[in-house]
Amino acid sequence: MLPNIHDYDRLYGEFRWPRLARYNIGVDVCDKWAAQDPDRLAILNVRADGAHETITFGWLRATSNRLANTLAAHGIARRDRVAVLLPQTPEAAAGHIAIYKLGAVAVPLAILFGVDALSYRLQNAGVKAVITNAQGLARLAEIRGELPGLTLALSIDGPGDGALGLHETIAHASDQFTPAHTTPDDPALMIFTSGTTGQAKGALHGHRVVLGHLPGVEMPHDFFPQAGDRFWTPADWAWAGGLLDCLLPSLHHGVPVVARKFEKFDPEEAFALLAKTQVRNAFIPPTALRMLRSARSPKGRHDIALRTLGSGGESLGAETYEWGRAAFGLTINEFYGQTECNLVLSSCQMIGVSKPGAIGKPVPGHDVAVIRADGSRADAGELGQIAVKRPDPVMFLEYWGRPEATAQKFIGDWMATGDQGTVDDEGYITFVGRDDDVITSSGYRIGPGEIEDCLIKHPAVALAAVIGKPDPVRTEIVKAFIVLKSGYRGSDALAGEVRDFVRTRLSAHEYPREVSFITEMPMTTTGKIIRRLLRDQA
């Protein structure tokens, strides 16, 4: 979608969104390619035993059509909600495509969700059908009595626990299906996003959401697609980062996607996968990159030939930025967004938009600024809230069933992200922290990102997270939680060494006055640190 202009100011100024009366995600990411070449590679599925399975666009079209016919035969109609409770699998992709072509609304859910999280989301969304596997069925069996509206369950692992076997059932359906006529604004997708308080909210998106993501994928991946591109992310496809930053935009462009079900992210397996499947483009969240950084260097061990590496979801930090250059010989292009309005800021080294510690600049097509509480634009260097101006094609339609929460998300025409940041004289925006993550200590407002970036420079530190701990004198003190590298053991002496390490490199008001060593960092299914649990522990 981006024009081939390598001057940022010209690129941003000349970009225009296409105007479409009709648009359907399923047709766009599947049927258009299947019509041209049904044997074109869509997904390279890597099984647990290492075997590779090639999934073509022709398979995706036939499977999604059979599935759409099956859903319709069981009473699933336009705008009904259908959950996809699967890891990275070909059936997950086919499930999404079928739901979009039917005109229904896909509700992606992480297979690692517990029963309480699943029950709430399925009930809140009013889900009528679910596409899952044996693992998902086992959890559903515990809460089936709480879900009277759930009328159909299809399992890719065969029938059982009140579910029909997906493959056995769709085998009797026609592989021909006429997709629903949908507009860009018709509902297509609901992704639940968790805030710092209260229950998760369902962010409802229209079919336009895929088109809205394209510039934000193409910019950090150096004008993706290029010849030979092949995409992979460890991010779950149930998350906006996996689904909308990788899977659907790649299929839109006809670029193969590598699928690999990881029970738990393993750096060594990730390095091997990048090499064996000849991945050219990767989206790897910052926490996963830091885990890669703490492992042995892949140089001389794995023949990795990445063309682009993008990262987002948390602050990348200058240390990981520099490590990326040394490890892969390329610049990690950082990007930013959230479930409600994703991929609106980005870096792109190819056109000179890259600065260590900064996210980047607004992606063409998006008006992004740092604003004050009254909605006015903040001055350079002034701390404010990162916000996106409406209308915007990547912006959510509403929070499902929560009109008051939807209204509270906006300050005038600015969609407030809840993230604190600054903008500099060159237009680069730097992420400081979530509203609730910013630490107030002795009158200073301290962002955790800079301290965490400093901490992981210490040779003993693998992962670090910083929070504010209530203090009667200073309001809050800086407290660090640290996962050590193999071969190191936590002690008072090491804690003191870590404190001094930060004090001498940053400042006296930013060093962690308390250090706790933990064996495992609490993280969401999307790879973000759960600071709330650390605050509770503190």
Number of H helices, E strands in the chain: 18, 27
**Structural domains for the chain:** 21-206 (3.40.50.12780), 438-537 (3.30.300.30)
- Please report, as a single letter, which amino acid is at residue 446: I
Segment 188-214, tens digit of pLDDT: 999 998 654 467 899 999 999 999 999
Output the six-digit token pair for 138.
């086992």
3-state DSSP of 496-508: HHHHHHHHHHCCC
Q: In what order do the strands lie in the sheet with 308-311?
A: 52-56, 41-46, 257-260, 231-232, 281-283, 308-311, 332-338, 341-346, 361-362
Handedness of CA 74, 157, 204, 251 (dihedral sign): negative
Q: What pLDDT shows up at residue 510? A: 81
Mean pLDDT by 10 residues, the chain (538 residues): 97 97 98 98 94 97 98 98 97 98 97 86 97 96 94 97 96 98 98 72 97 98 98 94 97 98 88 97 90 87 95 84 91 95 97 94 98 97 96 98 96 95 96 76 73 91 93 84 95 95 80 95 80 89
Between the alpha carbon of residue 127 and those of residues 39, 256, 273, the distances in Å are: 34, 30, 35
Output the six-digit token pair for 115.
């029963």
Closest CA to 44 of 279, 310, 218: 279
Q: What pLDDT shows up at residue 483? A: 96
Q: What pLDDT shows up at residue 445? A: 63
Segment 235-286, tens digit of pLDDT: 999 999 999 999 999 999 999 999 998 878 899 999 999 999 999 999 998 8
Q: What pLDDT shows up at residue 245? A: 97
Q: How far apart are CA 482 and CA 517, in angstroms?
A: 5
Q: What pLDDT shows up at residue 112? A: 82
Q: What pLDDT shows up at residue 446? A: 78
pTM of the model: 0.86
Other CB atoms within 10 Å distance of the CB of residue 29 = 26
Cis peptide before 87 (omega within 30 of 0): no
The three-class DSSP label of residue 441 is strand
Q: Mean pLDDT score of the chain, rounded to an integer?
A: 93
Q: What pLDDT shows up at residue 196? A: 47
Q: What pLDDT shows up at residue 383? A: 93
